[in-house]
Amino acid sequence: MKSNGLFILLAVIITIVVIQGLIQGYQNKWLKEQQYAEFVALQPIDSAWIAPSLYLDRETLGKERAMVMYGQDLVAHTSKYFGPNGSISKITNGMNCQNCHLDAGTRPWGNNYGAVYSKYPQYRGRSNSIQDIYGRINDCFERSLNGKAIDTNSYEMRSIYAYMKWLGKYVPKGKKPYGAGLPPIPLIDREANVIKGKEIYVNICQTCHGDKGQGLLNPNGSEYLYPPLWGEHSYNDGAGLFRLSSFAGYVEYNMPFNVATHAAPKLTIEEAWDVAAFVNSQPRPHIDQSKDWPDITKEVFDVSFGPYTDHFSERQHKYGPFQEIIKAHKTN
């Protein structure tokens, strides 16, 4: 009899614990949905930026038109000109600008160039200076393409410039159209998880990007069919994608390629952060960043190399959680 009573008591306790767990779970889920709804509500509502069409454009003629077309090809097939077998010079890792700026920088939410001509020159904290379009392009040559800057006066640079100017021809000066640039992603309230990220990578990304993140060259080796995500041919640790928020935002709304869209992402927000943590925990080329952020009070929250003005660790600056860091910066 006595042991029977004890058993019932135990069963009651277990039931209570389980029910509490369930309630907690639902509350957390509700809270997250609430936070996401608030995030979405804060985004401007307008139709997304659409790039002009060269086909319909009857005003851009002669030399200008030739440069715009050449600029577009340089962005789409950069490797052909500047890769390891480049026809102009061999100064990059073999990636194309288009690998990260989809459809030659025209896809809505695909890290496009819709706000380049309208927003540059602009102040940038990383260099603590006013940067023009040429400087910004060379930043991606040196970091995202882990290569060398190209001559600002070269026909190639002037053509990429002409292309970006043409892309932005209908965007009012100073304005950033909806859907332009890198899409923002809501924060998560925990550290991004490398182990969970690896699982996502293996299940979803590996078929295209390779078991060692090495990507896959096309049969004649002139450019990547699937670009590398880490290793010696990938972007270096000073590149935009090495910041977790940039990687997560890009991947959430664009990967798997041609499957995920802004309206219908394939990863949850948490999965995007976790896979970002995994990929950016893998080895990649290093670039000296000792001269970056000369004014450290201007530093963004997810730069993974100190020194910092706050007391948070390099690990937290790299993997989060970021809310406290952002708060500390605001009250500084």
- The nearer residue to ligand HEC, 106 or 316, going by C-beta atoms, is 106
The answer to whether 327 touches 202, Cβ cutoff 8 Å, is no
Strand partners, 223: none
Query: What b/e readout covers 148-158, taking b as 16+ CB neighbours within 10 angstroms?
Result: eebeeeeebbb
Percent of the chain that is helix, strand, coil (3-state, to 5): 45, 5, 50
Cα–Cα distance between 70 and 80 in angstroms, integer? Answer: 12
Cα–Cα distance between 314 and 148 in angstroms, integer? Answer: 28
- The nearer residue to ligand HEC, 21 or 283, going by C-beta atoms, is 283
- CA distance readout (Å), 84 to 57, 100, 297: 35, 19, 38
- The nearer residue to ligand HEC, 32 or 165, going by C-beta atoms, is 165
- The nearer residue to ligand HEC, 186 or 213, going by C-beta atoms, is 213
Question: Residue written as tokens 């990636």?
Answer: 95
Contacts of 324 (CB under 8 A, 6+ apart): 312
The answer to whether 319 touches 280, Cβ cutoff 8 Å, is no
CB of 317 to ligand HEC, least distance (A): 15
CB of 250 to ligand HEC, least distance (A): 6
- The nearer residue to ligand HEC, 186 or 240, going by C-beta atoms, is 240
CB of 19 to ligand HEC, least distance (A): 36
Strands (E) in the chain, as ranges, are: 122-124, 129-131, 216-217, 224-226
CB of 193 to ligand HEC, least distance (A): 14
- The nearer residue to ligand HEC, 28 or 154, going by C-beta atoms, is 154
Query: Which element (helix H / strand E) includes 202?
Result: none
Residues at the site binding ligand HEC, with contacts judged by CB under 6 A: 75, 78, 95-102, 111, 113, 115-116, 136-137, 140-141, 144-145, 160, 181-182, 204-205, 207-209, 226-229, 235, 239-241, 246, 250-251, 255-257, 267, 275
Contacts of 69 (CB under 8 A, 6+ apart): 54
- The nearer residue to ligand HEC, 179 or 228, going by C-beta atoms, is 228
Q: Is 251 helix (H, G, I), strand (E, B) or coil?
A: helix
CB of 26 to ligand HEC, least distance (A): 28
CB of 271 to ligand HEC, least distance (A): 8
CB of 323 to ligand HEC, least distance (A): 20
CB of 100 to ligand HEC, least distance (A): 3
- The nearer residue to ligand HEC, 276 or 308, going by C-beta atoms, is 276
- CA distance readout (Å), 213 to 278, 280, 282: 11, 11, 9
